[in-house]
Structure 1
């Protein structure tokens, strides 16, 4: 299994991603200690995510987009959340693993 330091990975990300896409696993190190592992996503794993999203759309829980967002979208002002309640709710949901 290949290893790469964080700085090395940042400098050559495309090259490392190509290796991972080809099936290789990569351990990312920080100051010589392993901190992450990059592994290829198998087709069935990628498809499972879309299947889950499609099921959520059928139940009316979400609406999937139908195209690209216009460039102007990224210039819109962000909503204000001074108390951090939205962020806290998102973190809580992620921890629950819904």
Structure 2
């Protein structure tokens, strides 16, 4: 179950407790929200996320937050340059104690 759904369920339970209403009374969530005049938590979270994104986008100091917002994932496949002879790896390079590097 997602975090937003958990927050919504908890908020509805608290609102029902505030009004003294139980689930078997079958009162719609919209009616409960109208009576309590409480803002929906999912809407509030969405608004706060947008405000944070706007705040980060306005920054010009080069911190990682603005870089993450502008990040574009790589598309396609990675190109592997094979070693001479057509092999991409050699059995000698699999030795964990070998630090000599590739041999030319």
Structures share a fold, TM > 0.5?
A: no
The TM tier, using the shorter chain, reads: under 0.3
Pick the structure with more helix per residue. Answer: 2
Task: Give the TM-score of the pair, scaled to structure 2.
Answer: 0.26
Pick the structure with more strand per residue. Answer: 1
Task: Give the TM-score of the pair, scaled to structure 1.
Answer: 0.27
